[in-house]
Structure 1
């Protein structure tokens, strides 16, 4: 059971040990941010006698430095008030220089013993700003602090220590008394240390941390013990967010939960409080200094604060109300905090084209975002300064974005504060574990940290969506993914849940069908999944164009999905790629697009900015113009797309190749030519054509199908081999790739109806020497490819982007990819039909039955 003085979940109190008090110098305050108090001045600390040549903190040298690197020092290590949504005036920042030492498994805390190194908290030890700049699996931190006499701790008041985040397992001692343990690298914990304090003078604080990163199943995001110079980065261990303390009354407010309700014109509010029964609260909302609404009621209960005629929050008008909450006991005020909130609602709405889309405040609004990793060359997981933290978000606004995907990382509270203030919609990922399935013993921990992330961030106005999984990393079961999405939605019904970003990619176990979003990744993209009746669709990642910038690269080199020679080319490629987002939104109905990425990160060179934030790599005016164009045009108001013509009726088709000893077209004038000397053998009905898998095929000499509209291709196929090679039954050449492939996909070892990069797959591996009836359908109205095997539906895939008009010949027995002939069929083919319309399921069943 959690002890009463531990205020956040998963921090556990343990037994006491004897102590000595010692310490080092503490961090000083700095100018406050708008709406939050300045930190109290740090007291002069009394240390135990130390050697004459005590070690000093020295800043390390990062491979590249940001504009803020040289501004960081012992007196200003993130001095801002760290919790903008629950503000008290009395507090003291404990950031600054601490003692540090490597620790061993089972080593006793260094109570009363000076440690041999100095570290700058809260920068992770691997970072240059920490002054350590190396990796350790286990470590001790140590410092002293003095409680200001004016706080009157112990006289009806308690002292709380707050840890913004410690990666990954933490233990805390005050004056030798172990007061807490905590597991989780991305969530904070608070500890009531009152009973461990001595009567006066300096108090000793020791923190132990263990971080094994990717050697375990813990959530790590993109951290790795050693950077791979690719898509994973240097890990961040130990204390990496602000440490601070404040006095509170015996009865005090522990947290606020606020949710706007536009339909009711009020704010749902719950004031969580500790310290007795019968506590009441008074909450007052103000807009532009004027009272907008108030409510009085019980603490720890759901209340409604009326906000009539609310001014709504949006990216173009990020209006926020101030909120003052007072806790009363017996009618007397015992605690007061300041907060804020925005009135906004995220949901879905059908556009004029009938497709379901994301809506903000009841109006369709396209979410144009970047992928934001949140890494820094000087501070790694921790931005060097608050101004640096704000910089990335400010650049989003300057470049015309209205949203940001916080990619498998959770940021300090002040990041979300700036997103709220600046007006950015945030898609918040859960940090992933390793890319393989999370080991069974760690699955409960992953889910626990996921729900804690949601709980801690439930009141940020900017967050509009939760993303539990990315590209299948850590995913262990598709049903479990669906269950987790449902549980997150139950925990927070007010936001979208994107169960699985990149469900089409990588280690994905496939679409669970749960959540509010269908999310595909495609590089270079954009991705173009179609929305469903109850789920919107988004491009969760695309882009990735890169540029090398001398003297601004972490490794002195790097890569991207496509490297460009100069800034002008990079800008042009970006604009062209983003224009395709408009087409994807109009044709497919995607509601969001997320470009990779805001900055370079280590070996990834695909940012708008270099990793050091010193150089903008594109013409940002052009970037802004095309982004604003997307938001304006990609809202579903274009109306329904033109309907395809009805096509030729009947089951014969516009071309039919019986292949009974000839390649003549029995339905029209598209006679084919045999290439490579294939032989006619016993077929499924009469004769069929035997192909050798390397040089033989049939060429119709012209395009039979209009690929800009609907079409269907059908054939009987018997394979002579089933392995990792692709084999194409019917296709039509495009400028570089086939317009479509009715094929055996060697990568999946299943039949497929495909576009390049998109496959509607059959359910099982086919058998050698057995006849199969394959039918592939392109349905432009529903925006999908469909595959039927032996007359039954076998697979479907979203494919809603318009196809260009046909340019190449229809061929039987091979495909075209990268401008080259590929994927020759090794087997026998018979009864090939081509249709200028999308056949229905009933017609396909009838066609199959007619050939049995």
Structure 2
């Protein structure tokens, strides 16, 4: 489709700034004796496809699977290249000194340049096949750019034919009137890309890449190609499925003379199953005989032929599926596929390559990651703040992987200006329009973790208005980082917890998902991008441990799905990416870091094990009645190294020189904040069920450190902490990552009665101080633990921590959730 030149924004390009008359620049230099050649440079890591790339096979595949024509010509290959400076004129009829392999970004090894340029020139010549009959009334020639990062101006034979801003969407130009009668036609492309110095959407590109941000991409990074069309031609085909009626809406967007009739024919393996006709640029309803729905287990696609009365005809395809949010039998809002709940599980897929950066080296490589994700048992993939070539979505459609499509974020640490916001919304709208017909895409994600976010609720509503047929995840990781407060908008509440998974719960209108969790790492010698800088959220020593830990995380996700109502989980991530070594595969795709069969089994257990039925919720036993509980420690001995359990059979041993002092009633346990505590010798409560713990406590001092009154050890950390939180200067009842905080700061030297209540049936943590409810938090799942219940310390990172400096008296432990009335009674007693 022809796009008129736009007025440059504040990110002015060399090309845009120099849109001057160039017809007089016609001198051609003498040919060099030894013209420069493209050379493949050495990438940080080599993929299995690196050495397959050559000037004759640079992504030769047809780039637009949903709008195909037989006649086309690929313009990928070796182009002339040079850096550009402010004030340069476009190099019309002037050779350039370097050679670059298009469409690999200038920073990549495959490009042959392997450096960043803020402004740059590309140049080549092409020939129009004689049998295309371009010109006059016969045919028009359309020049296509699938993606160029970021600000692009194109000249053909010295005539500016298009100016475009946006690094992730396709654009094109009708160049017919710029053609000459000569055999060779010249195309010059000027590109400016400020990377992270600008305010444009750029995803995870940073200069230099570091940590969770990576090497940037500039210039042409997707296929350049051309095709002849009739004067009235189909520029886009939008298909919108309607499962309820067994039909699809087909809208043929027509350029040129628009008084055209359209015919759309649907095929099932060559058999006609539906026909619709009507005027161009008008949605047509095509009813399908015996509808065959698209699912991950059965990703059935219909072929589609759309024709104009002018003679133009294109091939396409569509899938019949619906996506929605609705209640399951357990009363929770969940994500529905074709009206049924399907637990969605997939990896975070960032689409970076050590040899091509943003551009997969070959089409087989582009497909490889999706094939591996499918083989691992996943049914979904989150495309993380990057937009892929159309062929990637085609393979997702064919393989049966639901896609959450992120919008590439603006820079995370800069408040977007009004101009940047307007540009962001324009690019977001174009991304949605150009991808609305891929059945695999089920969710739009406009923002991530507060990176460049603004007006989140309004943007979520706008995305829903642009495409009401898909779900909107207003902000992935709304609980995290720099996110704006939850807007309550969109279809999804999205939690990010590392290593997690988190335990979010649905609300009255939105499903709950774990949009990121995991990040388990393993370093593989010889396959690291930066061995000294390699990191992960939790590093494992070997593949077996990594696989075991992954299975443990998936089991917790299974419980979160059953008991909390979590509809989906996104594990970080498909492959290592630069310094991040938390992939299923190394960054070079050479090594499988886990046992893939075990991973597949763990994944399928989650997908098949959550069905939204009421019986999958927790079965909470009533517990032991009475106010005494299942264990009680009055600490009235006032001597010795043992404290009697006056209710049960688990006397506590004083550790590290813990001693005695005057208590709230009688004597009490005295600890000095340095290695002293009491160990009950047993796991007194099942921490994945309901329980309560109560104690009188007096602090010798309060400050910035944590002090734990009662806890129960897990493998790595305590399953709960009844504590003073030094980070907040408040009393708290805590899980790792979650604290129910009392509103006041405690005083040293004063006795407080603390009760922590975990109610697994309601998913609540509650803290009572001196008989009154002080705070509560929703935490759906507790952590199972088999370590000892201890008094006077916690555990974190595998080590004892947070030792109490003070005194503890009258500790009670319960295997049920106490009511508010019982807490008040206990306090009064």
**TM-score, normalised relative to structure 2:** 0.87
Deviations 1:100-156 (A, max 9, x none): 111123432222221111111100011111010111122111122233343323426
The 3-state SS of whatever aligns with 1:452 is helix
2:407 to 430, 438, 447: 430
Which residue number corresponds to residue 735 of structure 2? 755
CA distance in 2, matches of 1:676, 1:374: 56
In the alignment, does 2:462 pair up with 1:487?
Answer: yes
Residues 369/123 of structure 1: CA separation in 2 closer, same or farther (3 Å cut)? same
Tell me the SS of whatever aligns to 2:451. Answer: coil
Quote the Cα distance in structure 2 between the aligned partners of 1:481 and 1:847: 46
Deviates more, 1:256-265 or 1:579-588: 579-588
Q: For residue 515 of structure 1, report the CA deviation from its aligned partner.
A: 2.5
1:154-169 correspondence to structure 2 within 5 Å: 154-155=136-137, 157-169=139-151
Shift of 1:284: 1.4
SS at match of 1:466: strand
Aligned in 2, Cα 1:640/1:615: closer, same or farther, shift over 3 Å?
A: closer
Question: Given that residues 707 and 726 in structure 2 are in contact (C-alpha distance below 8 angstroms), is that contact kept between their aligned partners in structure 1?
Answer: yes
Distance 1:659 1:575, change over 3 A: closer
Residue 73 (structure 1) shift = 1.6
Distance of 1:451 and 1:521 partners within structure 2? 26
Which is worse superposed, 403-412 or 631-640? 631-640
Alignment partners' CA distance in 1, 2:759 and 2:379: 33
Residue 536 of structure 1 pairs with residue 515 of structure 2:
no
- Give 1:541 shift: 2.8
1:709 equivalent in structure 2: 689
Measured in 1, the distance between the counterparts of 2:698 and 2:421 equals 44
CA contact (8 A) 1:20 1:112 kept: no
**Gapped runs of 5+ residues in structure 2?**
none
Structure 1 partner of 2:362:
385
Quick check: 2:355–2:361 contact (8 Å CA) kept in 1?
yes
The alignment of Structure 1 onto Structure 2 pairs a total of residues equal to 813
Give the direction of change, closer, same or farther, for the CA distance of 1:801–1:851 in structure 2 (3 Å limit).
Answer: closer
Q: Determine if the alignment matches structure 1 residue 255 to structure 2 residue 233.
A: no
Once the two structures are overlaid, the 10-residue window that deviates more, 485-494 or 773-782, is: 773-782
Q: Is the 8 A contact 1:724 1:747 kept in 2?
A: yes
Aligned 1:332-731 pairs, distance under 5 A = 332-441=309-418, 442-475=420-453, 480-555=455-530, 558-637=534-613, 639-647=615-623, 676=658, 680=662, 694=674, 705-713=685-693, 723-731=703-711
Is the partner of 1:803 in helix, strand or coil?
coil
Shift of 1:427: 1.6
1:563 shift after superposition: 4.1
Contact 2:3–2:173 (CA<8 Å) still a contact in 1?
no
Post-superposition offset of 1:661: 12
Matched residues in 1 for 2:350 and 2:26: separation? 39
**TM alignment of 1:72-471, pairs within 5 A:** 72-149=53-130, 150-155=132-137, 157-228=139-210, 230-276=211-257, 278-327=259-308, 332-441=309-418, 442-471=420-449
> Does the CA contact (< 8 Å) of 1:661 and 1:680 recur in 2?
no
1:741 to 721, 725, 736: 721
Q: Is the 8 A contact 2:2 2:172 kept in 1?
A: no
Q: 1:827 to 1:376 in 2, by over 3 A?
A: same
Aligned with 1:314: secondary structure?
coil
Q: What are the superposed Cα offsets for residues 750-788 of structure 1, whole Å, 9 maximum, x if unpaired?
A: 5543222x3044486747679988654322123343456
Cα displacement (A) at 1:48: 6.5
Q: CA RMSD in A?
A: 3.9
**Native 8 Å contact 2:645 2:652 kept in 1:** no
Distance, in Å, in 2 between the alignment partners of 1:73 and 1:21 is 33
CA-to-aligned-CA distance 1:164-204 (integer Å, 9 cap, x gap): 11112222222333333322211222223334333544332
Deviation at 1:410, TM superposition (A): 0.9
CA contact (8 A) 1:213 1:220 kept: yes
1:838 matched to 2:814? The reply is: no
Judged with a 3 Å threshold, the aligned counterparts in structure 2 of structure 1 residues 751 and 191 are, in CA distance, closer, same or farther, namely farther
- Are the equivalent residues in 1 in contact too, given 2:116–2:218 (CA < 8 A)? yes
CA 1:530/1:650 → structure 2, altered by over 3 Å: closer, same or farther? same
Q: Is the 8 A contact 1:783 1:799 kept in 2?
A: yes
Separation (CA, whole Å) in 2 of partners of 1:296 and 1:699: 79
Q: What TM-score do the two structures reach when normalised by structure 1?
A: 0.85
Query: Alpha-carbon deviation of 1:258?
Result: 1.5
Q: Which runs of 5+ in 1 are unaligned?
A: 24-46
Q: 1:808 aligns with which of 766, 788, 791?
A: 788
Deviation at 1:83, TM superposition (A): 0.8
Contact 1:153 1:247 in 2 (8 A): no
Q: CA deviation at 1:374?
A: 0.9
Q: Once the 2 structures are TM-superposed, how far is the Cα of residue 210 of structure 1 from its aligned partner? A: 1.8
Structure 1 residues 735 and 142, CA gap change in structure 2 (3 angstroms): closer
The 1:643–1:242 alpha-carbon spacing in structure 2 relative to 1, beyond 3 Å, is same
Partner of 1:43: none
Q: Does the aligned pair in 2 maintain the 1:778–1:786 contact within 8 Å? A: yes
Q: Offset at 1:261?
A: 0.9
**CA pair 406-783 structure 1, distance change in 2 beyond 3 A:** same
